[in-house]
Every structure is written in structure tokens, then in C-alpha cells.
A and B are shown apart, each in its own frame.
Chain A
Amino acid sequence: MNRISRLLLRREAGILVMIALFCLAVGAVKPHFLTLDSLQIVLLLVPLTLMGAMGQMMVIVARHVDLSIGSILGLTAMASGMMFRYHPEVWWPLGFVLSIGIGALLGLANGAVVTFFRLPAIIVTLGTLNLYRGLTFIMSNAKQIDRQYVPVELKAMSQTSPIFGIPWIILMSFAVALATYYFVMHTRIGRQIYALGSNPVAAPLRGIDVTKVTLLVFTLSGALSGLAGIMYASRWGFVNPSNTGAGFEFQVIAAVVIGGVSINGGVGAVLGTALGVLLLGCVAAALPLLGIPGTTQNAIYGAVILAALLIDRLVRRQGQRGAAIRGAA
């Protein structure tokens, strides 16, 4: 229809092609990979990443980055886990309120430091990555929350399905993606995120409250990491102070960047990000199936991400910059 949607379409089509090629290649070696079973495995790997990626996408579109999401996931999962353990009398869904609420606060703290002290987000969130992880150790006394403490109903959300055999956790992550889509594409404040990231100098000149938008994206990123935190407890049934959420930021940022969100801000879409998450999910599901030892998986995972970025760059090779100035009068 018009040029941008065509461009975006191509970008997203490109990731789809990469996913298809990857799956076919793996399927050629292990035909089992192309069955519904492994689709289920892939889909169960992605929901947490998808939730985190929606928040991260907004942060990166606004020309920031949030490295602390893995630690927020860990801290919020631990907070609910401790509530479940020490106050089993409390109605379990309050774990959602607790995790999301704490996540939002931690995110808000990130945003506040970034915007009020004018510090680069990469440094601030690198700091809070360690700070929040450390707080998790302190509050849990470095003790894991074991399976028996996590409510059965919560764990069931990752196994039982209200409809079409799709577990709650997957539906929930899709709902997050759809809500994010509506928010960034169809609300005033959502569009201001793009405007801010596209030209931070012009944004205040056009009446955009830069402080508000910055606080908002970090808060949302934190809240979604909090949601991913409680769902981690649901999915895996335990919370470990050092492992839970470790490396989450890496997966999420990789997915977001593969999904076409520009690190320079202003550009990025929900569909592309979701496909980026899916591609990483396929890779994560395929590696054990191919019998690649755990020691090698990390390296391959990293290599695949670099390859995806390189392919994308080579395919697009857009040199549209500096087009405009022609002869003058």
C-alpha cells in the first residue's frame, strides 16, 4: 500500500523466511522438529521473552535500553515466591499484583535516574542489574523457593488451557503483545514514544513531555518483567536467587534487535519483535534436539543472533541516508 508498510512487511517477511529456512534445515536432520510437539516446545520457551521484549521494544524505540530486566524478573519472582512460602494463607493471585507492582517500581526507579540525572540508560541499568540481583540475594538469604511452595494453580497456568489447548501462559503473552500493539500504534502517548526516539531534540519543541514518556517506558518495561517474573514461577515451579532471570536481558535485546527495532530509536514494531522472539525460540528448541551439548549451546546461540543480524543488514543495505540535497537555487 504505502512505502513504510511495504518496508516493514519486507523486514518481517525476512524474519519469517529466516525462521522457515532454519526450521527446514533442522527438520532435514531431525524430522521430528517439524511436528506439533516441538511447536509446543518452542511456544513454551517464548512467552517470558515475548513479555520482556514488548517492554524492551518501547524502551529502545525511545532511544534508551534496559539491561536490568533479568534482575527485575528475578527479584519479582522471588518476592512472590517468598509470599507463597511464608504467607501461604494469602490468596495466590495477589502474587501477580506483587510482582507486577514491584517490577513497575524498579522500572520507574531506572527511568527516574536516567531522566532526572541525565545519565545514559546503559550505565544506569547496568548498575541496577547488579543492584536488583543483589537485593534478591539479600531478601531471600540466597535460598531457593522450591516447588512445593509455588501454588498448584499458578503452575497450572503453564500447563492447562482454557481454549484450543493453548496454555494460559502463551495466551497471556499474546495478550501482552496485542495490548502493546494497540498502545504504541493507536494512542497519543504511544506515538510520542516514537517521536521522542526519532528526534529527542525536537520532541520537547512539539510539546512532548520527555520526562513523562521516559518514565513511562521504563515503568512498563519493569512491570512486564514483573509479569514475566511471576510467570517464571508458574512455568518452572521454582525461584532461584542466582539463576532466575539471568541472561534474560540478553535474549530479549537480541530478539528485539533481530525484530528490526533500531538501536538508534524511533523505529520498531510489535510484529517484528514477536517474530524475533519466535526465531530465538526455534533456535533454543532446536539445539538440544540436534544433540548439541550444553557447553556449546551458548556459543551457537550467540552466533545465530549475529548471523541473523548480518543477513538482515546484507539484505536491506539501505543507503537512503543523505539522499536529499540536490542542486539549489
Chain B
Amino acid sequence: MSEPTVTSAPLLSARGIAKQFAGVEVLTDVDLDLMPGEIHALLGENGAGKSTFAKIVAGVHRPTRGSLTLIGRAVEVSNPIVAQKLGITLIHQEPISFPDLTVAENLVLGRHAGAPLARVPWAQMTRDARKLMDLLGVAIDVTQTMRGLSIADQQMVEIARALASDSRVIIMDEPTAPLTPKEVATLFAIARRLRDEGRTLIFISHRLEEVRELCDRVTIFRDGRKIATEGIRDLDDAAIIRQMIGRPLKEYMHKPGVALGDVALKVTNLTSPGLFRDIGFEVRKGEIVGLGGLVGAGRTDVARALFGVAPAASGAIEIHGKPAVIADPTDAIRLGLAFVPEDRAVAGIFRTLPVEQNITAAAPGRIAPNGFIRRAVERALARESVASLRIRLATLRQPIGELSGGNQQKAILARWLLTDPSILILDEPTRGIDIGVKAEFYDQIGALAAGGRAILRISSELPELLALCDRVLVMSEGRLTANLPRGLATPETIMRAAVPRSAERGAA
């Protein structure tokens, strides 16, 4: 092994770890040794099992089978508190904390044992918290409430908490997704220091370049199985991707060529102060246009403006060559737009309502021509959609919240297809859904485009943008920074356009 800090005795060993959810095996017989003083990346597509594995190590989930050994001793990590006592901390992407309590209090909460009526040592607590922040080299006012902190600072507090309880294993689940490049640099510097102190860090990320920059070894997951564990220098990007997706990159990027029609959607100088500026592009019939960029670049804001959720302050929208005014979503729906929002749990589904009502929700005119809902029509439409999109469910009357993420997503797509949209806006449509469903989803989107619909598709995942899209738009800090035809779109060109100019770190 080329890394000098890695010694021979593993800190944490997993043997035969498996996990089933509702009878479905999401993790199968994973063996993994984590060494002291290493940063170990877990790679894999969404649903590959890496997060599940991490959560088992951190006591969030109990494994169905398998065992964990910490420094040669078998351990039962039955819950997160036990994990904390064993020195294992999981840092969530969006940290779980107490937003109304101060940073200092968040750091100690649950750590100090003692009588319930024991006096809280505020002064000491604040001093200790300051010391930890100084140790990490971050300037956070520890007497501030958590609510006021940025996500990056909240993550720092979580890391500080791990240090306060002297964690030996620190797991970071996609910590960099919501961070700016500068914040990522700070995070990485701290991560390296913790490694050099002999701790083990598990780093979950989708971003290969970050993994390359930070990690010593990498374990690749696919379909709930561990595919490989290698030193990061022993694998090139192509090899990693091949192992992640189980087939060569070339094959992954397929999309039937479709003849493009007239311009369906044309946007000029769309501006919404503080969110995005001077956005202009076209989407043709039959065309799939990807909209890439980093989280927070303003992509979702553009989509929301187009759909009238939060209309832009200035700029023009043309639909099928005619100027259009979209003041609210009703206008957008009438003009033939459909919008599948990013966070389906918040903005997409009506969790407690049956699947059928969720599917027909955007087409009231079809199920209730005179204002009264005709149940037979509703049921027939829903049944048709379920069949054509292959939505897996028990019954149409089932609350949609009981379906898996991917099937919920399909149901929402079905909802919008019922409005027979000519322009479809999809915001991160495949986030959090498993690979099998994802592939189906790709096929369906391809088929929709082939049927003459114009599709604008927001995605943070490079392979998706490259695989499906005829053209890739890239946004950075509220501006459109690239408009790449299929031939010119490569990971490098997209990333270069996505990274903010002011803070470029040479990501490509």
C-alpha cells in the first residue's frame, strides 16, 4: 500500500453486512476494513448502498446480517448514541441539530452525563466550544443559534462535535454538495488534519475529482454490493466509472437520434434580481436540453420562473413562437408547460392522498368536466398511467407516501403527462431513485422527446447530462455560462463553466 499512514491493523472491520428494507435487499454481504489514518471514499450511484452501509456503521440502521469489529472487538452499534460512545460519528449532508439552541449547546448536548438537575456550566461550555472552533480554525460565534449558520458552518459544528467526543471514525455523507469551493477547501484541510491524527474518515461523494483530491482509498458499490476496494492511485476515472455503472461509459451514453422540430420554448434576457440574470436559450420540439451547474447556481430558480411559481422580474418568454405571459402556474399549465420539481417530498407529492389522486391532480378538467369528479374516469386515467410508466404499487388507493422514491417520481411524471404538455421541465428527476428505475426513467424521457415534446432537464450529475441531452446549458452564480451542443459537452467543459469564476480552484 502506497500510503505511509496506513498501518496493517484495521480500526473498523465489517464482515458480511447485509440490509433489507421491507424484504428488499439493498445491501448484500459487504466486507470492508477501514484503517486508522486513512480517508476512505465510498463511491457508487444513488441507491448503490454506500449510504446504507455508512448508516449501519453509525448505528442509524441495524444490519440484517453481518458483524462489525472495532479494534479487534466485536461491537453492536444498536443506535447512534452507542455509535457516539464507541467514537463513530456520522455527519449528515444537512446536519441534524437543534436550530434554536446555541452552537455551544449543540456541541455538548447528549454528551455530558450527570444528574438531570445538574447545573449547566454555561461559561465552561462556551469556553470549550470556542477552543474546539479555534482547533478547527473556523470563525463561528458559538453563542449564536444554529439556525443562523450556513450549511458549511453547521457541518463544521458537526465535525467539532465529533472531535469533542473524540471520535475515531468520522463519516461524511456527501458533505460537499451544498458547499462553495472555498468551504470545500476548508473542509478538506480539516479532514486531512484529522486523518493525520490517526482518525479514520469515510467520505461519500459523487464527485470523482474531490475523491481524487482527498482520499487515500476507495470502495465502489453497485447494486448493494461492494465491487472493489483499491488505492485511489491504482484506478483511473474510466475504471472507477466502469465499476460504478457496470458497463463502459460509451454504452451508458445512448440516446436515439430524433429529428428536431420548431422552437417550442424561447427565453430571452430573463432576470430575477439576486437569483439569475440575462438567461436566454431555446428548446426545440423533440430536443432534450440539459441544464447543469452546481447546486445553488440558480437553475431551479429559472425553472420556477418559467413555470410561474416565482415569475422573473424582466425578460421575455416565447412559447411556440408566441410571446407568453406566465404569472402563475395556471398560466403555465394552460400554455402546455409541465414542471416536475426537485424536492418531490416538499413540492411534488400529496403524501397522504392515494396514488390515483396524485396522478390526476394536475388535470382537473379531464376528471371533472363539470366540476364534479367522475371517479370512473379518474381511476381509468390513473390505471393507464400506472401501466404505461410501469409504476409499481399495491393498489391505486394506496397513499403515495408508501411507494418507493422512484415510483413516486414516476407518479409525478404521470401526473404531468396527463396534462399533455408540449414542454416538460424536469428538476433533478432521478435524485434518490435506484438504478433500475433510473434506467427506465431515461428511456421514458427519451421516448417523450421522440414524441415531439421539448424537454428541459436540470441535473447535477454529469453522466446524466452527457447521456441524455442534445444540448447542455450550464449555469454558474445566476448566469448562463455555457451552451454546449452534444459534441462539445464533456465533463471538463461542463465543469469549467459550472465553477464560479471568482473562486475557480482548477477543478478540471
**A interface residues, Cβ below 8 angstroms from B:** 1-5, 185-191, 194-195, 197-199, 201-203, 205-208, 262, 265-267, 320, 323-329
Contacts and interface: CB of A to CB of B under 8 A. Distances in A.
18 contacts: A185-B120, A187-B117, A188-B115, A198-B98, A198-B100, A205-B79, A207-B110, A262-B100, A265-B100, A267-B100, A325-B295, A326-B296, A327-B297, A328-B177, A328-B179, A328-B295, A329-B176, A329-B184
B149 A324 contact: yes
A189 B116 contact: yes
Interface size class of B (residues with CB under 8 A): 35 or more
B90 to A, nearest CB: 10
A199 B179 CA distance: 23
A247 B194 CA distance: 59
Contact of A189 (B117, B176, B499): B117
A64 B507 CA distance: 49
A205 B100 contact: no
Interface stretch (B101-109, B221-229, B231-239, B386-394): B101-109
B352 interface: no
Contacts of B500: 327
Interface of B: 79-81, 96-102, 105, 109-110, 112, 114-120, 122, 141, 143-145, 147-151, 154, 176-181, 183-184, 210, 294-297, 476-477, 499-500, 503, 505, 507
Nearest to B95: A202
A324 B114 CA distance: 35
A120 to B, nearest CB: 15
Contacts of A185: 120
Contacts, number: 121
B144 A195 contact: no
A199 B177 CA distance: 23
Contact of A195 (B79, B109, B476): B109
A247 B87 CA distance: 52
Given A194-B100, A198-B101, A327 B117 contact: no
Contacts of B143: 1-5
Contacts of B115: 188
A8 to B, nearest CB: 11
B460 to A, nearest CB: 9
Contacts of B151: 324-325
A329 B180 contact: yes
Contacts of B179: 328-329
A187 to B, nearest CB: 5
Contacts of B110: 205-208
Residue of A2, A185, A195, A329 ringed by the most chain B CB atoms within 10 A: A329
Contacts of A325: 151, 178, 295-296
A4 B148 CA distance: 10
A323 B150 CA distance: 7
Contacts of B81: 205-207
A320 B505 CA distance: 30
A210 B98 CA distance: 14
Nearest to A208: B110
B145 A4 contact: yes
Given A186-B119, A326-B296, A327-B297, A202 B96 contact: yes
A329 B499 CA distance: 7
A186 B79 CA distance: 28
Contacts of B96: 199, 201-202, 205
